Amino acid sequence: MTHRLDALHGVDTDALRAKYALERDKRLRSDGNEQYVEVSGDLSTFEVDHYAAQTIERDALNDKVDAVVVGGGFGGIMAAARLRQAGLRDVRIIEKGSRLGGTWYWNQYPGAQCDIESYVYLPLLEEVGILPSERYARAPEILEYAQAMASHFRVAESALTQTVVTEVTWNESDEYWTVRTNRDDSLRARFVVMCTGPLHRPKLPGVKGIEGFAGHSFHTSRWDYDYTGGNSLGGLSGLEGKKVAIIGTGATAIQIVPHVAASAEHLYVFQRTPSSVDLRNNAPTNREWARSLQPGWQRERIQNFNAHISGQPGPVNLVNDGWTDLMDKVIAIFRDDPKTAEGKSLEQIVELANLVKMQEIRHRVDNTVLNPSVAESLKPYYGLFCKRPTFNDEYLDTFNRANVTLVDTDGQGVDRISEGAVVAQGVSYDVDCIIYATGFEVGTTYERRSGFDVIGRDAQSLGAKWDEVGIRTLHGMHSHQFPNLFVISQFQGGWTANYTQLLEEAANHVGFIVKHMLSSGHSIIEADRNAEHEWAELIAANAVNGTGGIGGTNCTPGYYNNEGRPLDGPAYGAPYGFGSIAFFALMQQWRQSGEFDGVTFR
């Protein structure tokens, strides 16, 4: 029988649960992560850096530094900044791209824009002394901000760009790391911080014919402006007269589609699963509001946002956007009618709020897209956080254009690529250009995604260790037999959708430890074997991702839930299961206690 509360909110819970399960089941595949192909060999052209103005010429370096930071995105820049502030003098960032910026260097595709409010997404705004010009800043401004940060903290000058780390090896004799690169550099470093990022190796669908396509093709993270013309703000004049395919409809495609549609003769959007597309509501930064900000405002706003998306909201919602709206709905259900909520558990109320939110998102499709059958295909039937929610005010309307065709593959994806076409559901669509908006490697090994292995004490390989026994770290950061190595990543630590908060917390933690070492005269830190074992077991025992919430029948497959497949064995790669707020508090306690449980200093 329908609960009174469900009826009140116009939601048929049982019918929607059944529909969600149906949509999930038709997308489950036995090959899971194996459905994608690695961008290497014949496909390595998909990794070519189109943004580099020129190839930097320089001699190989053979020097000794205090620290090497691998990766020059926000994480690497903040880690380097905190290391310098801790007292290290020579800190070198090594970065594959030709400028610092990480994900914002690679993702310069048209329409790229942050999808979490820039006042909480762009880190250290108060320290750097910059306020973004818009609530949702666009890619060029974010990339410039990364440069400004690096200059502000004086870590830009020593950075090596267009340089790829190939090997990191511990030398027991002098207790330094040797970091080798593709430019024959051999750097000696006391500390190494790994900031290689979670989403940077492009992946392609494992369908036949990609290599044989005779037209032009590229991945969204290596946008080819020489071919399309324009820039990340649009104006893709090179696509005039061209038939273009975009494969994929995730967070990236949502931002690209309106720009390609505006220039191409015809755009075919190949969809396997529709994204949830909520209101964007961008606006220039309000000058009066900016003047009213008091010191400490950003930290307060970041924590307030995280509390809301983590289900622990305070009385005020400072950001008040599509991310935080779900929790407001839960609160409203209780506040508006606590009596009718009787008989429902908190979990069921959260489910109801989620169903109501997704219903709203589906109504938005109906209210925007004129063709009812296209509108139906664009409606997402799964829980809000099963996939990255998206926010865009132009995407849905683009499907009202005469030059745009949605090719919905009913959850099956494209069949194959031929010499001049994309084939889906047995139909061949002739195109001049294919843009792969198919995302990044997530479910592959850390070593493969980093592109190199780390060899620690006793010639222990980090890749081999983690392959054998599963990821083993203390706090997601230190690993036994890998002294003075810090890993900044999303596994075994505190995960939050506002990823830069995770990076800032981790960078602060590294800075704190190194400062402590310098003041106490220690030169080595290493995780204890028992401590990392216990931490890994704690993580696996309390893992949420991949097993509970987003692994359930309400979620279609994707990289958030290991392509909908339950993990084989314990989930050592999961984040801290009690949530990021609890994790950050735990790390703060660890720092304040002065006991340094689980690590040994020498």
List contacts with ligand NDP (CB under 6 A): 113-115, 199, 205, 207, 247-253, 255, 270, 272-273, 388, 413-414, 437-440, 558-559
Closer CB to ligand NDP, 205 or 483, in the complex = 205
DSSP notation for 543-593? --TTTSGGGSTTS--SGGGGGGPPPSS--TTS--TT-HHHHHHHHHHHHHH
The distance of closest approach from Cβ of residue 409 to ligand NDP in the complex, given in angstroms and rounded to an integer, is: 6
Least distance to ligand NDP, CB of residue 89, Å: 34
| Residue closer to ligand NDP (CB basis): 391 or 535 | 391
Cβ distance to ligand NDP smaller for residue 232 or 484: 232
Q: Taking the complex as a whole, how short is the minimal distance between the CB of residue 79 and ligand NDP, in angstroms?
A: 20
Output 72 or 411, the one with its CB closest to ligand NDP: 411
DSSP secondary structure of 63-96: -EEEEEEE--SHHHHHHHHHHHHHT-S-EEEE-S
The distance of closest approach from Cβ of residue 253 to ligand NDP in the complex, given in angstroms and rounded to an integer, is 6
> What is residue 122's three-state secondary structure?
coil
Q: How far is the CB of 263 from ligand NDP (least distance, A)?
A: 20
Alpha carbons 494 and 476: distance in angstroms, whole number? 9
- For residue 601, the SS3 value is strand
Q: Which is nearer to ligand NDP, 36 or 572 (CB)?
A: 36
Distance CA 442, CA 450 (A): 11
In three-state form (DSSP H/G/I as H, E/B as E, the rest C), the secondary structure along 414-451 is: CCEECCCEEEECCEEEECCEEEECCCECCCCCHHHHHC
Q: Which residues of 251-289 are buried (b: 16+ CB within 10 A; e: fewer)?
A: bbbbbbbbbbbbbbebbbbbbbbbbbbbebebeeeeeee
Q: Measured between alpha carbons, how far is 228 from 551 in angstroms, rounded to an integer? A: 39
CA distance 400 to 394: 11
Nearer to ligand NDP, 470 or 549 (CB): 549
Q: Shortest distance, CB of residue 364 to ligand NDP, whole angstroms?
A: 18
> What minimum distance in Å lies between the beta carbon of 399 and ligand NDP?
15
- Reduced to 3 states (helix: H, G, I; strand: E, B; else coil), residue 49 is coil
In the complex, what is the shortest distance from the CB of residue 57 to ligand NDP, in angstroms, rounded to a whole number? 33
Taking the complex as a whole, the smallest distance from the CB of residue 559 to ligand NDP amounts, in Å, to 5
Task: Single out the residue of 489, 448, 396 nearest to residue 197, CA to CA.
Answer: 489
One DSSP character per residue, 502-526 reads: HHHHHHHHHHHHHHHHHHHT---EE
Of 255 and 450, CB closest to ligand NDP: 255
> What are the Cα distances from residue 314, in Å, to 82, 281, 306, 386?
30, 23, 11, 24
DSSP SS3 for 240: coil
For residues 76 and 558, which CB has a smaller minimum distance to ligand NDP in the complex?
Answer: 558
Rounded least distance, CB 278 to ligand NDP, Å: 13
Q: In the complex with ligand NDP, which residue's Cβ is closer, 270 or 399?
A: 270
DSSP 293: P
DSSP strands (E only) in 112-185: 165-171, 176-181
Candidates 98, 112, 103, 71; CA nearest to 202 is 103
- Could you please report the per-residue DSSP string of 468-495? HH----BTTTBBTTBTTEEE-SSTTS--
Nearer to ligand NDP, 108 or 481 (CB): 108
* Shortest reach from residue 174's CB to ligand NDP, in Å: 41
Tokens, residue 262:
């505006």
In the bound state with ligand NDP, the residue whose beta carbon lies nearer, of 100 and 142, is: 142
